[in-house]
Structure 1
Amino acid sequence: MSNSLSRELTAHMNYLNDNRIVFNEVYEHELDLVFCREDGKPLPKSTLFNALNRILNKAGLDKMPIHGLRHTHAVLLLESGATMKFVQERLGHKNITITFDVYSHISEKLENSSVDGYEDYMNSLMS
């Protein structure tokens, strides 16, 4: 988890703790949800779907299922140089083969980077 995300989640948890105190007996303490209504009750599915669609629309991106965010995150990790093993653990895949089968071919940038890296390495050996 990035430091900025950690700070945001800490601030959000402080907000939730304040709500627990304010709503006291009405708050749904036993659910212990991270993303919920002010009284601790679950958000309707439509809230999440609508929020994602608004964000995508504002960014000028096509609609995608929420699970698409998981795939996008994995590809961005790989493109940034994360290892396949790191992505496997991050996504919670039991076997690295699953991660490799899904993500090894997904980014042209990864393929180009691998070829460029190999060429750079070979050139350094010849120098």
Structure 2
Amino acid sequence: MRKGEAAALKWSDIELKNKTVVVKKTLDFDFPEAHEELFGDTKNDNSERILQLSNTVVADLKHHMNVIDQNKLILNEMYRHDLNLVMCRTDGRLIPKSTLFNAFSRILKRAKLPSLPIHSLRHTHAVLLLEAGATMKYVQERLGHGGIQITADVYAHISKKIEMNSIKKYESFTESLLQ
């Protein structure tokens, strides 16, 4: 997801039993005063989508939900129940963009990884999907790109592993023609 899409996720957008999440809004990180203006439309029509979640993500979300529920119990009416956000501060309020970016930077630093923009998670996910054999069309739909050309332009050339797998498939196919 894009950072605004992830930040706009509400618990009502997630179906843990079906392992899906509905992406339908984006968060305006400028935090306008009016509550209804916090969430806007996604980047394009294709950005509204239903994503399948892995078992690992579902387990992490269940754990996170337990933490959120504990915060709700402890803070009671001081908790922002009305927002119902998945990614939020301890009291349920919105996470500012700078806090999100700083937390990501700290995680990278602790893991002794180079500094990267948070959007690199989205790119890494796309490359790993392609390396695992996902089609370009599937990746386009999962990322919510307006068209497959956008996905192809960004990701088609990015991985040597994809290139090597393609050559191996080609060689295997042409060898089978000669038998």
- Aligned equivalents of 1:18, 1:52: Cα separation in 2: 24
* 1:7 lines up with 2:62 in the alignment: no
Which position in structure 1 is the counterpart of 2:137? 85
Tell me which stretches of 4 or more aligned residues in structure 1 moved more than 4 Å.
Answer: none
Per-residue displacement from partner, 1:48-79 (whole Å, max 9, x unpaired)? 22222222223333211111111111111111
Shifted more, 49-58 versus 72-81: the winner is 49-58
Superposition map of 1:1-127 within 5 A: 1-127=53-179
Tell me how large the CA RMSD over aligned residues is: 1.7
Partner of 1:30, secondary structure, is coil
- Aligned equivalents of 1:72, 1:121: Cα separation in 2: 29
Unpaired runs of at least 5, structure 1: none
- Identify the structure with the greater strand proportion: 2
**Gap change, CA 1:40 and 1:59, over 3 Å in 2:** same
From the CA coordinates, give the structure whose radius of gyration is larger: 1
- Aligned equivalents of 1:59, 1:18: Cα separation in 2: 28
Quick one: which amino acid aligns to residue 102 of structure 1?
Answer: V
- Aligned equivalents of 1:25, 1:116: Cα separation in 2: 60
Higher relative contact order (CA 8 A, sep 6+): 2
TM score, norm. by length of structure 1: 0.88
TM score, norm. by length of structure 2: 0.64
Unpaired runs of at least 5, structure 2: 1-52
- Aligned equivalents of 1:123, 1:72: Cα separation in 2: 33
- Aligned equivalents of 2:114, 2:90: Cα separation in 1: 31
